[in-house]
Structure formats: structure tokens, C-alpha cells
């Protein structure tokens, strides 16, 4: 096999391991990882017999055929995964459960809410709303006042912890459904359910959750664990990391750390911009909860700070301890154990606390110039043989499959 280049990859998360797998047959590839096991954000533990997704609750699917083909070359779909339909719901503050997406299930609203929602639809159809300039205007214009007030505003304010007028529209592209009034009315008359939408199903490992995916992706790679890379030195013909020479480096860590780590390439022009990049963290809480049929439960209630229950116990029987249902419950940013337990007393399905994990970087916030700014950094570093890849290296709202797709695109360029 021709060994084209010696490539260092920083980070054994999904991005780093995916590109390492794509490059390893034609290059000499070494992956450096600061933790003692692979996975980054998709790592899972076992706690009291329950599978604990330390961040969120990861399921897999993709819109990209090349990613799907690549993925199923590494995994046995039938033997190792289950395929499930999404079955999400919104738990309203009055205790009512409304199927997701909420705008298609007016028949499950209270009478009063249904009437005001019908009024909204009529006025939205009559007055085409003006082009929105921020997230709040988008939600009000697209879904009407009632759903904005009862669901979209309180739910999104819990996640983003800011006024929705401060969330720029550039953040939306490709992330949110954009139904027209006609579609909302049609879906309501027709009782169109979530599982009838394209990409409303997902794959989930029968055992081990997303840690199973990470462990498999790590197979056959030269990964140096417990290697926190705090210095990468640019040399005449490449890079030196831990005293070892490499032709190229692919950085899959957090771009905020880059100016500190890189020596020999002047990144000072980007430092202020990098410092202003914003992100949220997530506190993920593992709980035993009451049995229910849902995959995700969204919670707009202002009575507590949690925004979502991910019913991981419904994704695979092996996730539960002796059949007892478990789930992860998400809070934006850091919240103490005491506050978690206090909040859980007001969350539906009687959650019982088992464990929690706080990850400081989970949701990158894309301001209007973020993408352009990151691409100027990339142009500067790529000309020196240093490439950025991954959710926080590129400050992109990547899911696992999109991270794999980005790895595909970069490996093709390399």
C-alpha cells in the first residue's frame, strides 16, 4: 500500500475517527486523544445497569447516501442495530401530551388553544407575513402567536437562554422544519403523523448505544489515548507533535484552543474573533422514569429548567436495568446536583435521579458572520497543512452523520 502522507489527527470523536478510517489505507495515520477512550461527545457509561449517554442520547440516520453506504460497510444493520420510528411528543404545562410536530396536532390542543390557533392560521393565510429578520419573527410568522407563546418561545428560551430576537436566522438553515400554512392545515385535516415524514426513523445499536459506534470506529486505528495535545509546532515541511514529524494535521478539537496550541503559524489576527465565538453546554441527567411510548419528549413548561427527555430506555431493551425504564433529561449549561433534583420533582414521568454529566461545549452558536469567519481561519491554516474538522473545530451544528459527511469531503480534498 502506498503511504502518501503521515497525518496526525487530534481527537478520537466521531469526526476524527471517521476521517482516520477514510485515510488510513493510503496514509500513515496517528490519532491523539486526551481521554482514555474513544467517542468524544457520544461516550456512554453503565450506571446501575442502565446505559447512560453522557451527552444527550445519540441515534443515527442520514440524508447522505455516501455516508449511509460507508456506515453500513462497518456495521451489520440487521444484527447490530434496530430501526425505529420517531415518536416524539410535547408535554404541555397543563399536563396534556400533544404529538410532535405540535403544529400538526391541533385536535389534541385544549379547546381554547385550538380556537386561537385556528384564528392564527386564518390571519397567517390572509396576511403573508413579512420576511423575518430573527428567530422570534420566524417562529411567529411561520407558526402563529398561539404556538409561539405556548410552545416555541418557552421551549427555545430554555435551550438558548436568550431572547429569541437575538438568535440570527443564519442559524436556521437546514435545522428546522419550514411548513407553509397550507401544509399545516393539510397535515391537520389529514392527521399526518411524524413517522410519515422523510427521515423520521433512526437506527440505534442493540447493545452499548453510541459507545458501540465509537468503539467500532476506533478499530484498526493507531489511537494514542491520554494524549492531551497542547503544542503543535509548524516546521519547514510539516508539523511536529510530541516530537514526532507529520506532513499534515487534522484538528478535531475546539477551535478556541487553537491559538494556544499552534506554534509557528501566526493566528493572532483571529484570536479576538475566536474569543467571541459563543456556545452552550449541556447537563445530561440519567434517570429512571415511568414507562411511556415516546422517543423524545419536549417540555416548554416554565415550572422547571429541563427542556427535553430522551427516552433512551425505549431505544434498546439492553439500555434498561431489568426492564426498568430509563431516560436522559437535558438542561442547558451547568446546573448543580441539588438544583437538578429540585427541578426533577416538577418534570413529568416521575424521574428518579441516578447520575449526571456536564459537558461545557455542546451547542455552538452561529452568529451571522460565524461561517465566513471560520472559513477565513481554514484558508489560513490549510495553506500550512493544518485542517479543521468537527463540531467545535468548525463551529457547526453537526450531527454524527454530518460530521462523517464532512470527513468524507475533507478526505476527498486531501
Ligand X SMILES: Cc1cc2nc3c(=O)[nH]c(=O)nc-3n(C[C@H](O)[C@H](O)[C@H](O)COP(=O)(O)OP(=O)(O)OC[C@H]3O[C@@H](n4cnc5c(N)ncnc54)[C@H](O)[C@@H]3O)c2cc1C
398 near ligand X (CB under 6 A): yes
Among the residue ranges 101-109, 126-134, 146-154, 392-400, the one whose residues contact ligand X (CB under 6 A): 392-400
Crossing angle for the helix pair 153-160 and 135-147, nearest 10 degrees? 140
User: Where do runs of H (alpha helix) occur along 316-398?
Assistant: 337-344, 370-382
User: Which residue in the set 66, 228, 263, 409 belongs to the binding site for ligand X (CB under 6 A)?
Assistant: 228
With 0-12 / 13-18 / 19 or more C-beta atoms within 10 angstroms meaning exposed / middle / buried, residue 1 is exposed
371 near ligand X (CB under 6 A): no
381 near ligand X (CB under 6 A): no
**Binding track over 184-213 against ligand X, x by CB under 6 A:** ------------------------------
54 near ligand X (CB under 6 A): no
User: Which residue in the set 253, 313, 348, 405 belongs to the binding site for ligand X (CB under 6 A)?
Assistant: 253
34 near ligand X (CB under 6 A): yes
Among the residue ranges 39-47, 107-115, 154-162, 236-244, the one whose residues contact ligand X (CB under 6 A): 39-47
CB atoms within 10 A of CB 102: 23
Long-range pairs of 259-266 with CB within 8 A, sequence gap ≥ 24: 260/230, 261/229, 261/230, 261/231, 261/232, 262/232, 262/234, 262/381, 262/386, 263/231, 263/232, 263/233, 263/234, 264/233, 264/234, 264/235, 265/234, 265/380, 265/381, 265/384, 265/386
Nearest CB to ligand X, comparing residues 102 and 310 = 310
Smallest separation, CB 335 to ligand X (Å): 14
Nearest CB to ligand X, comparing residues 182 and 219 = 219
56 near ligand X (CB under 6 A): yes
Smallest separation, CB 299 to ligand X (Å): 15
41 near ligand X (CB under 6 A): yes
82 near ligand X (CB under 6 A): no
Among the residue ranges 34-42, 126-134, 182-190, 372-380, the one whose residues contact ligand X (CB under 6 A): 34-42
Cell of 247: 506532513
35 near ligand X (CB under 6 A): yes
Q: Contact 87/294 with Cβ under 8 angstroms?
A: yes
Cell of 114: 385550538
Smallest separation, CB 172 to ligand X (Å): 18
Please name which of 17, 313, 76 lies closest in space to residue 203, comparing C-alpha atoms: 76
The DSSP secondary-structure symbol of 128 reads: P
Phi-psi category of residue 142: left, alpha or beta, with phi > 0 → left and psi -120 to 50 → alpha: alpha
Helix, strand or coil, per DSSP, at residue 330: strand
User: Which residue in the set 55, 104, 187, 332 belongs to the binding site for ligand X (CB under 6 A)?
Assistant: 55
Smallest separation, CB 11 to ligand X (Å): 2
217 near ligand X (CB under 6 A): no
CA–CA gap between residue 54 and residue 357 (Å, rounded): 6
Per-position DSSP letters for 173-207, written without gaps between them? TTTS----HHHHHHHHHHT--GGGSTT-EEEEESS
Helix, strand or coil, per DSSP, at residue 406: helix
67 near ligand X (CB under 6 A): no
Binding to ligand X, residues 290-329 (CB under 6 A): none
Smallest separation, CB 122 to ligand X (Å): 37
User: Which residue in the set 21, 23, 60, 158 belongs to the binding site for ligand X (CB under 6 A)?
Assistant: 60
Nearest CB to ligand X, comparing residues 60 and 117 = 60
**Binding track over 346-365 against ligand X, x by CB under 6 A:** ----------------x---
CA–CA gap between residue 371 and residue 271 (Å, rounded): 16
Question: Rounded to whole angstroms, what are the CA distances from 372 to 170, 279, 295, 367, 378?
Answer: 11, 17, 36, 10, 10
Which residues here bind ligand X, judged by CB under 6 A? 10-16, 32-35, 40-42, 55-56, 58-60, 227-229, 252-253, 257, 282, 362, 390-392, 398-401, 403
Amino acid at each position: 500500500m502506498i503511504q502518501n502522507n503521515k497525518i496526525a489527527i487530534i481527537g478520537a470523536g466521531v469526526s476524527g475517527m471517521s476521517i482516520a478510517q477514510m485515510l488510513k489505507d493510503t496514509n500513515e495515520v496517528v490519532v491523539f486523544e486526551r481521554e482514555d477512550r474513544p467517542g468524544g461527545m457520544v461516550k456512554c457509561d453503565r450506571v446501575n445497569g442502565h446505559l447512560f449517554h453522557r451527552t444527550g442520547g445519540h441515534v443515527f440516520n442520514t440524508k447522505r447516501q455516501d455516508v449511509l453506504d460507508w456506515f453500513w460497510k462497518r456495521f451489520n444493520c440487521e444484527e447490530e442495530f434496530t430501526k425505529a420510528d420517531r415518536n416524539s411528543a410535547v408535554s404541555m404545562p397543563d399536563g396534556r401530551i400533544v404529538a410532535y410536530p405540535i403544529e400538526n396536532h391541533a385536535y389534541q390542543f385544549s379547546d381554547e388553544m385550538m380556537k386561537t390557533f385556528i384564528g392564527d392560521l386564518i390571519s397567517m393565510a390572509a396576511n403573508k407575513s413579512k420576511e423575518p429578520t430573527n428567530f422570534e419573527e420566524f417562529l411567529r410568522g411561520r407558526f402563529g402567536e398561539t404556538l409561539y407563546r405556548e410552545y416555541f418561545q418557552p421551549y427555545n428560551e430554555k435551550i438558548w437562554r436568550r431572547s429569541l430576537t437575538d438568535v440570527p436566522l443564519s442559524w436556521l438553515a437546514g435545522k428546522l422544519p419550514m411548513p407553509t400554512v397550507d401544509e399545516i392545515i393539510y397535515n391537520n385535516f389529514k392527521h399526518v403523523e411524524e413517522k410519515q415524514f422523510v427521515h423520521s426513523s433512526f437506527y440505534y445499536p442493540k447493545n452499548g448505544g453510541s459507545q458501540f459506534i465509537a468503539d467500532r470506529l476506533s478499530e484498526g486505528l493507531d489511537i494514542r489515548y491520554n494524549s492531551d495535545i497542547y503544542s503543535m509546532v509548524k516546521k519547514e515541511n510539516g508539523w511536529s507533535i510530541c516530537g514526532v514529524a507529520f506532513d499534515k494535521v487534522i484538528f478535531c478539537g475546539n477551535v478556541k484552543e487553537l491559538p494556544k496550541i499552534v506554534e509557528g503559524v501566526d493566528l493572532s489576527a483571529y484570536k479576538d474573533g475566536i474569543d467571541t465565538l459563543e456556545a452552550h453546554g449541556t447537563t445530561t441527567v440519567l434517570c429512571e422514569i415511568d414507562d411511556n411510548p415516546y422517543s423524545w419528549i419536549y417540555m416548554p413548561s416554565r415550572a422547571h429548567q429541563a427542556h427535553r427527555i430522551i427516552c433512551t430506555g425505549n431505544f434498546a431493551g439492553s439500555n434498561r436495568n431489568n426492564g426498568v425504564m430509563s431516560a436522559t433529561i437535558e438542561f442547558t449549561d451547568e446546573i448543580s446536583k441539588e438544583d437538578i433534583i429540585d427541578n426533577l420533582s416538577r418534570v413529568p414521568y416521575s424521574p428518579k435521579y441516578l447520575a449526571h454529566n456536564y459537558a461545557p461545549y455542546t451547542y455552538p452558536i452561529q452568529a451571522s458572520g460565524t461561517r465566513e469567519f471560520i472559513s477565513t481561519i481554514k484558508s489560513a491554516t490549510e495553506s500550512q497543512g493544518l485542517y479543521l474538522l468537527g463540531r467545535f473545530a468548525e463551529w457547526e451544528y453537526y450531527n454524527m452523520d454530518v460530521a462523517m459527511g464532512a470527513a468524507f469531503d475533507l478526505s476527498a480534498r486531501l
